[in-house]
Every structure is written in structure tokens, then in C-alpha cells.
Amino acid sequence: MTVSIDIREEAGVRTLHFGSEWIQGAMRIARPWKLELEYTCEMMAALLLRDAPRKVLLIGLGAASLTKFLYRHYPLAHLTVVEIEPAVVAAARQFFKLPEDPKRLHLVIGDGAEYMLGSSKKFDLILVDGFDENARSGALESLPFYQACRAHLSENGIAAVNFLTRNNRRLDASLKCLAKAFDDRALVFPSCESGNAIAFAAAGDPVEISFDDLKENALALKVHTGLNLLPTLVRLAQARTCLNNRLVL
């Protein structure tokens, strides 16, 4: 069934909706390459943990915020985007400045879970942010999907998954599936004010990085892209999610 696409503008920010108040994506019209929503910024914390990715998979396009950010700031990266709804792709092109560049940006119209289960490609970074009009992810929160994500990560790959925290039972079940698929090499950041919680999972060599090094990486990222993740690191430290001021995955 085709979703109802609704585009709204308020205070210089354009938002994407699927026929409800739920925001599926946002863009500040004056700065279309900037990450407007807090959870999209936090998904980019994956960039603090490994070298710059060269092959990126994005499950769910939305307003193309993550796609545009990576396209602009990581010109050596090839991006594959899987979006189940053709109308979302059309809206991203018409209203949210999705680039047209088949050499660097490969768009796939299809189901993200089916793509993962049927693909043979490897990726340095996998970003999962797919929801329907009722804020449900379906098979994108299943153990087979997360196992497929792990299988398709490169030797030092990272996966970042956007979760909603409004249903604690479902969130707990999803996080357990993610942890099981990655042999407990998964970590969820404290939830944002919006109710989104970003989880990271790693394959290949262990990730072990001190908060001092994370801050150094965050400062370099800010210089490179303008994205400031220092507040995210403060929240992470306050939550005591990491032992001995070290992030280990």
C-alpha cells in the first residue's frame, strides 16, 4: 500500500510525514546538508569509532539527511540506499535535495530486510533507520536481519540502528536480538529527548577507545563536517554506559 506523503514547513524547517504527526525526516531549508534531527547526529557517532567509511549502506531514506551528510563530507564513499517506498524517493528528490549521482549514490527500491538477506556485498558502515507510518520497523528489528547485517559488514565494519523507546518491551527484545547477532558486541547510547535511542554494533577487530580519544575524534569531525558530537559524549559519560571511561565494542 502506498503511503501518504505529507510535506510541511515551519520556522525554516521542512519535514516529511507519512500522513501523521510523526516526523520521518527534516531539513533546514537554509542549510540542506546539515543534520537537523538529534538522532541523525547521534547515528554519525559511528564515524568516531573507525576510519572513514568507503562503502556505506543506508536502510531507509526518509528526508535523505544521512545520505546527504555522507555524500557531502565523504566524497570517497560510495552510498547504497534501500528504500521500500518509491514515493519517499520522489519526495526526497523534489523537496529535500537528494543528489542525482549514480556513480556515488545507488538507490534501490525494495525491502531493506530482503535486500540484506539477498545481497553479497560488504559495507564499512550500515545505517538502519526504517519506519512505517505507524513508527514500526517490522523485519528490520529481527534476529535474521541483524545476523545479515553482521554478515555484510567489512572486517572493521560498524552498524548503527535507530530505535524508538516508547515501547520498552519491544525495545528490549530488539536490543537482545541485536546483541545476540553480534555476540554481545553491541552498545546502546542513552535515548535522545525525541525518544530515539541509537545502538552500535561492531564486527571484525575489537573497538576499544578512551573518552579522551573519542573527544579528539569528535573535535576533528566537527572541523571536517561542522557536526558537534561533544554533547553526545557528555551524555554517554554521564550515563556510565562505558566502563573505565572507555568505549568497548
Which of 51, 124, 129, 212 is catalytic? The answer is: 129
Q: Which pLDDT belongs to residue 137?
A: 64
Pairwise CA distance, residues 148 & 55, whole Å: 16
- State the amino acid at position 118 in one-letter form: G
Q: Which pLDDT belongs to residue 167?
A: 66
Q: What is the pLDDT of residues 33-70, one digit of tens each?
A: 999 999 999 999 999 999 999 999 999 999 999 999 99
Tell me how crowded residue 136 is: count the other CB atoms within 10 A of its CB: 13
> How is the chain split into domains, by residue range?
6-206
pTM score, whole prediction: 0.95
Query: Which grid cell sits at 248?
Result: 568497548
Q: Return the residue matching grid coordinates 537537523.
A: 36
Mean pLDDT, consecutive 10-residue segments, the chain of 249 residues?
84 92 91 95 96 96 97 98 95 96 96 91 94 65 93 95 80 92 94 88 92 96 97 87 86
To the query of whether residue 51 is one of the catalytic residues in this protein, the response is no
Does the domain at 6-206 match CATH 3.40.50.150? Answer given as yes
